[in-house]
Every structure is written in structure tokens, then in C-alpha cells.
């Protein structure tokens, strides 16, 4: 399993967070195999894998019961390891090849309205000092580009081009795949204000870093701090469900608002950095409210 995790690091370029999740999933699987006396990959049977999936859902192995989505992630890690063993010639039969993760209900990603986005961004810039300027620039950039929060806080200054009319940012997504995403004028204005009036103050307390977004110690802003920034702004703006708004909410809102404005789903796929358009298509699911609205405004005898 250590060789498999090294393979994921070098060959697949998975992020530290994803690798940590895989490691925890596989350690639980190892414990499950240990209770069954399995000492080598050749000892493992399809029943072992199937029983592990059941244990994930029920907690019968002594661990916490997992949701369908968390179970699916764990099954992906287990299947990937068994496939790796087969490719490396450690086994001749893959006992996990027929095991499928539990079906997950299709849910619309959570998004907030454009009016609520504007309230959120305004609330982020309330206050004095460099902090509010940084917070506004961060959230404007995330909403403007649909970046994951890890992509945003991982940005260096030289990965951002603020040239008027063709502003863009280079984002490093999952699997270290790069993509160039346009940056809107509001985000450009907010980032420029931060770079001129706030970042030099924050940088003065540090030892020098190319990071775009800095904390009060002059070091790169962390994902956890960025989450805190968003949560505080949501509460200040008194948004409904403020405690449940996450950085991913802005990414979902970015995609939802683009599609509502007539953007092609494949363009949105490229902007989000999704490997498959199937992932993006969840945003195209029509809500009952939208159905009623379109029917009422389009059918000649609806009213």
C-alpha cells in the first residue's frame, strides 16, 4: 500500500489532502483484512471486499458508519489499490473488480443568488486595515473564476495576469492539471487594490513569499483561514444558512450563474477543470421552481 500511495503521489500528482484521505481509507481496509487473517494480496477474496463495503455503511468493523459519498470514495481507494496490485503482477485476479460503490442520490449543488453573492462580497470588505482588502480580493477571485479554495490560496503573484481586457489566472487543479481562466473586471479591481494597498503591509511581517494571498504573519493564507474569511462574511451579510456556506458554495454559484446566463456546459466544464462533462452536467438539472417559471412564461395558455 505504501508503494501504491507513492504511485499516486508521483504518477497521478494527487494533492496532499486527497492522499491523506486515501491513506485513512486504506488503513481502515488493512484493519478489516487483518481481522480476517489476510496476510498478502493473494489471500483476499471478493467476499472480503464486499463485506468491507457493508462494514463502512453499518460501522460493524468498529469504525464510524459512512455516508454513501464517503463510502464511494473509500471503495475507489480500495479498487485502485487492487488494480495496482494486478498491474504490478502481485496477483492474477482482482477481487475488487466487480465491487461497486453504493448509489448516491443526485443532488443539486448548493448555490446562492447573485444578490446574495453581492451582499457577501460587500460584507467581506467591511473594516479597516489590510484584512478586508485581502478578503474582498480573495472572494471576488473565487467567484469570478470558479476556483477551488485550495487553488486560490495556492496562487503565486506571477500566475495572475491583470492586463485590462484579457485578465486571466493559471489554476493548478486536481492531478496537477493546469487551466487558464478569465478574470472579471470586478475581481481585477479588488485584486489590484489588495496588491497596492494591503499585500505590502502583510508581506512586511514575513520572510518573503511569492504567494498572492498572505496572512497576518506574512505567510501564505491557509485553506482553513480562507474558510473562516468566507464564514465571517456570510454571517456579517446575514445570509440565509450562513453557517452552511462554504468556499465551494461560491464555486457552485459560479457554475450555476454561468449556465443560467446561457453558457455552454462544455465551456463551464473547462472553466471548472472537470475531467468529465458528466460531473458538470449536475448543474443542468432543472428545479421544480424553474419548470413552473418557464411553463408560466412560455405556454400560451398557462396563465
Residue-level pLDDT at 104: 67
Residue 256 corresponds to which cell in the numbers above? 450555476
What is the rounded distance in angstroms from the CA atom of residue 184 to the CA atom of residue 19?
33
The question of whether 283 is a catalytic residue gets the answer yes
pLDDT at residue 122, rounded to an integer: 96
Among the listed residues 28, 79, 252, 274, the single catalytic one is 274
Is 174 among the residues known to form the active site?
yes
Asked if 148 is an active-site residue, the reply is yes
Same domain flag for 158 and 243: yes
The reply to whether 176 and 250 lie within a common domain is: yes
Residues 144 and 280 in one domain: yes
Other Cβ atoms within 10 Å of 258 Cβ, number:
18
pLDDT tens digit at each of 303 positions of the chain: 899 998 888 877 777 888 898 999 999 999 999 999 999 999 999 999 999 999 998 999 888 898 888 899 899 999 999 999 999 999 999 999 988 877 766 666 678 999 999 999 999 999 999 999 999 999 999 999 999 999 999 999 999 999 988 999 999 887 778 899 999 999 999 999 999 999 999 999 888 899 999 999 999 999 999 999 999 999 999 998 888 888 888 999 999 899 888 888 889 898 998 877 777 777 776 666 777 777 888 888 877
Domain match, 131 and 255 both: yes
Residue 58 near residue 71, CB atoms below 8 Å: no
**191 and 213 in contact (C-beta within 8 Å)?**
no
Last residue of one domain, picked from the residues 87, 104, 127: 87
Query: What's the maximum distance between 2 C-alpha atoms anywhere in the chain?
Result: 71
Point out the catalytic residue in the list 73, 251, 252, 257: 251
pLDDT at 126: 92
Q: Cell 472537470: give the residue.
A: 274
Query: Residue 160 forms beta bridges with which residues?
Result: 169
On whether both 138 and 82 belong to a single domain, the answer is no
Residue 60 lies in a domain: yes
122 and 77 both lie in a single domain: no
Of the residues 36, 38, 57, 248, only one is catalytic, namely 248
Catalytic annotation present for 274:
yes
75 lies in some domain: yes
The domain that holds 162 is classified in CATH as 1.10.443.10
Active site annotation includes 251: yes
Domain count across the chain: 2
Task: Name the catalytic one among 174, 223, 231, 236.
Answer: 174
Candidates 154, 4, 155; CA nearest to 77 is 4
Q: Which domain holds residue 15?
A: 2-87
Q: Is residue 109 part of a domain?
A: no
Domain contains 108: no
**Which of 42, 71, 87 marks a domain boundary?**
87
Residue 237 placed within a domain: yes
Q: How far is CA 253 from CA 63, 74, 230, 258, in A?
A: 35, 28, 14, 8
pLDDT of residue 129: 92
Please identify which of the residues 148, 199, 220, 257 carries the catalytic annotation: 148
- Residue 298: inside a domain, yes or no? no
Question: Residue by residue, what is the 3-state secondary structure of the chain?
Answer: CHHHHHHHHHHHCCCHHHHHHHHHHHHHHHHHHHHCCCCCHHHCCHHHHHHHHHHHHHCCCCCCCCCHHHHHHHHHHHHHHHHHHHHCCCCCCCCCCCCCCCCCCCCCCCCCCHHHHHHHHHHHCCCCCHHHHHHHHHHHHHHHHCCCHHHHHCCEHHHEECCCCCCEEEEECHHHCEEEEECCHHHHHHHHHHHHHCHHHHHCCCCCCCECCECCCCCECCHHHHHHHHHHHHHHCCCCCHHHCCHHHHHHHHHHHHHHCCCCHHHHHHHHCCCCHHHHHHHHCCCHHHHHHHHHHHCCCCC
Report the pLDDT value the prediction gives residue 68, as an integer from 0 to 100. Answer: 84
Amino acid at each position: 500500500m505504501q508503494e501504491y500511495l507513492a504511485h499516486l503521489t508521483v504518477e497521478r500528482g494527487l494533492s496532499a489532502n486527497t492522499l491523506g484521505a486515501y491513506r485513512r481509507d486504506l488503513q481502515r481496509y488493512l484493519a478489516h483484512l487483518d481481522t480476517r487473517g489476510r496476510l498478502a494480496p493473494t489471500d483476499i477474496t471478493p467476499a472480503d471486499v464486499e463485506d468491507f463495503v457493508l462494514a463502512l455503511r453499518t460501522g460493524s468493523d468498529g469504525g464510524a458508519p459512512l455516508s454513501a459519498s464517503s463510502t464511494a470514495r473509500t471503495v475507489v481507494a480500495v479498487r485502485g489499490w487492487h488494480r495496482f496490485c494486478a498491474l504490478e503482477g502481485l496477483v492474477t485476479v482482482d477481487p475488487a473488480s466487480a465491487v461497486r460503490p453504493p448509489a448516491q442520490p443526485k443532488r443539486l449543488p448548493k448555490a446562492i443568488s447573485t444578490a446574495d453573492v453581492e451582499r457577501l462580497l460587500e460584507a467581506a470588505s467591511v473594516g479597516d486595515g489590510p484584512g478586508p482588502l485581502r478578503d474582498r480580493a480573495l472572494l471576488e477571485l473565487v467567484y469570478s473564476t470558479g476556483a477551488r479554495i485550495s487553488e486560490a490560496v495556492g496562487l503565486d503573484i506571477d500566475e495572475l495576469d491583470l492586463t485590462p481586457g484579457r485578465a486571466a489566472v493559471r489554476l493548478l487543479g486536481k492531478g496537477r492539471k493546469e487551466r487558464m481562466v478569465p478574470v472579471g473586471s470586478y475581481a481585477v479591481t479588488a485584486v489590484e487594490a489588495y496588491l497596492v494597498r494591503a499585500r505590502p503591509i502583510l508581506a512586511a511581517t514575513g520572510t518573503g513569499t511569492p504567494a498572492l494571498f498572505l496572512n497576518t504573519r506574512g505567510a501564505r493564507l491557509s485553506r482553513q483561514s480562507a474558510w473562516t474569511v468566507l464564514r465571517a462574511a456570510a454571517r456579517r451579510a446575514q445570509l440565509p444558512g450562513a453557517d452552511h456556506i462554504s468556499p465551494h458554495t461560491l464555486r457552485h454559484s459560479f457554475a450555476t450563474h454561468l449556465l443560467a446566463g446561457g453558457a455552454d456546459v462544455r465551456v463551464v466544464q473547462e472553466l471548472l477543470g472537470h475531467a468529465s462533462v458528466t460531473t458538470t452536467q449536475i448543474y443542468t438539472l432543472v428545479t421544480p421552481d424553474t419548470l413552473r417559471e418557464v411553463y408560466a412564461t412560455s405556454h400560451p395558455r398557462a396563465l
